[in-house]
Structure 1
Amino acid sequence: MSSSSGPLNEELQCSICMHVLTDPVTTPCGHNFCGICLNQFWTNTHIYFCPFCKEKYSKRPAIKINTTLREVVLCDFCDERKQKAVKSCLTCQSSYCETHLEPHHRVPRLKKHTLINAVEKLENYLCQKHQRPLELFCRDDQTCVCLSCTEGDHRTHNTVPVEEESRKKKNQLVKTKKDMQQMIQKKMKKIQEIQHSVELRKRNTEEEKSASVELFTDLIRSIERCQSELLKMMEEQQEKAAEKQAEDLIKELQQEITELKRRNTELEQLSHTDDHLHLLQKFSSLCSCPHTKNWTEISIDSDVDVFSMKRALIQLKKTLDGSLNEKLRQSVDVTLDPDTANPYLILDFKQDVTENPKRLNNTCSGRFYYEVQVKGKTEWDLGVVRESINRKKTNTLTPVNGFWTVILRNENQYKACESPSVSFSLKVKPEIVGVFVDYEEGLVSFYDVESSSHIYSFTGQTFTEKLYPYFSPCRNEGGKNSNPLIISPVNKYISLKYET
């Protein structure tokens, strides 16, 4: 044996079972064992240390598969201490270390045998039909064949030695590898372009936001802050959409790059192999570039229609300056209509009212614009309602049925009664809620009056008949929800509550 075989022999032997390594694994300290042996050793001892050097671990360490040792081919003729095989004989169908290979260099009959670098599965290098070495490559059928094959099915085909075809394929691999590297660079560049687009969009959004804010300075405080909130929400949605699009594109590009890098690594390994047969067998599947998307025309749209936004805001300012401000400043006396007020809705005492078809059995109606104090309540309904609703049954609160409402349930569960309903949360529980209706614009908005912040808006609605305020203080719930609703149009107040 050569002098270098000693250390290798130790590497190939498991110090637990003292046999050649099976499914070799490596401990953090660098020693190798059979995977089964090491796992069983630690299971039995419940103390984690290296069986060879006794190094201790505070917890069971993660072991790694030793791919290098796993791929080592051993000599078929070593009896006790197996050595690494250096050559495999396709004629003998055996692998040999340097010592046992010596007769193949000396005996004339053995010199004629076909030797290749040591491989583990020799059957892959033999013709399954004739059991002879696959020494030739058929270019017509793109497959490896033996000499017997050229006398039969491949008799008229163009066949060359596998070494010759391997050299040719290696040259093609180098070109394919270069093409894939270029594809990787292009996709990396595309990622940078997408990231730059996102940053550019953020900067543009900040600039446009600063310019838009100036248009709100002349509006009344509650409307100004509400519109600012709406603008912020719109910008956040646009920005999130752009970031989500960029995120998805980057993820897809990274997946393609990962696949290209994996293919490139295989090409790199194959381009340096001396295993001609293996190269030819793997060439077809690796040489062709994987299918990827054409990213040339794909980009993130960074344009924002700021001019349309500004025109809309200017028109809103004119409308509010003309009529809305005047209406909001007018004092309005609030009284309950005896024909429509719910009999259990009281001011200072219960009302004795006669039956009337206009009366809402479960709700009450009032003026067009109002603010309501909801402090201390656990449930309430607020909004507007159209004139033609069915007043004698329990209605489902939806715009289809003529209701545009926001409700509170269980102290902190807020819902906008859309179809389907939209649940949302508020950082600060409002004490006074303002309800604002823009009939022409089809808008019903709700605000926290104290903080002048936006709560929710029904947008894009179509109103074709009269609208009235809609509100309900809900049931007393044994005193838990006994606080009244206090309606306060400008500076006139009226207290509303259900009798216990």
Structure 2
Amino acid sequence: MASASTSKKVREEATCSICLHLMAEPVSISCGHSYCQACLLRFMGPSSSPRRQQYRETFSCPQCRASCHRGSLRPNKQLGSLIAALREQEQEQQQQEQEQEQELSCQEHGERLHLFCEDDGQLICWRCERDGQHKGHNTVLVEDASTGYREKLQEAVRKLRQLEEECTNQKAITATQIAQWEDVKGALSRSQAVRLVMPEAVSLEIEAEYKVPEVSFDPRKGLSSHQGT
């Protein structure tokens, strides 16, 4: 409620007192009030002074009647940014309200659920009341439903929206799990593509070949060598 009250006050401050709409290209004058630039120029009317003296020409503020000079007009950029943000906020709010109205539509006929069937305790549309299974039942406008029914309806709508939010969250979780599984699956595929290359067998036996040189020994040579001495 406080937020709605604040928004209402901001809108009042951003409303041009001449056209009674949100200001377009707001300009401020010496007394401190702001208006749409086009509205204020139209209010002042054409100048009767020479061009070089126009900025000294005076006019009365449309709101407080204070005397101001034409040359006091200054663009109010801060107010312009605030108005732009306010317009955007209002557009988002209208879009949300339209989406909520679409959510509260009859699944069978596509019409807005603006009636409440007291016999069955259900929200229905005008076609359900006229030619559907609720024909001849006691029905009232949703706005005219008793406080008890209204609380039940609000609780039902809250549960429906909560269920929708849970479904959305579950979809996000499922998508994350699928992505993780795809990562694991890819990792397994890459690991299977790797083949271990077995090293060649190396013999542990040491093969050593020793060749003993042949020694020739002639005893006659030995005796002759001794006889010579």
- Please tell me the TM-score bracket, short chain as reference: 0.3 to 0.5
More helix by share: 2
More strand by share: 1
Larger radius of gyration: 2
Q: Give TM-score scaled by structure 1 length.
A: 0.16
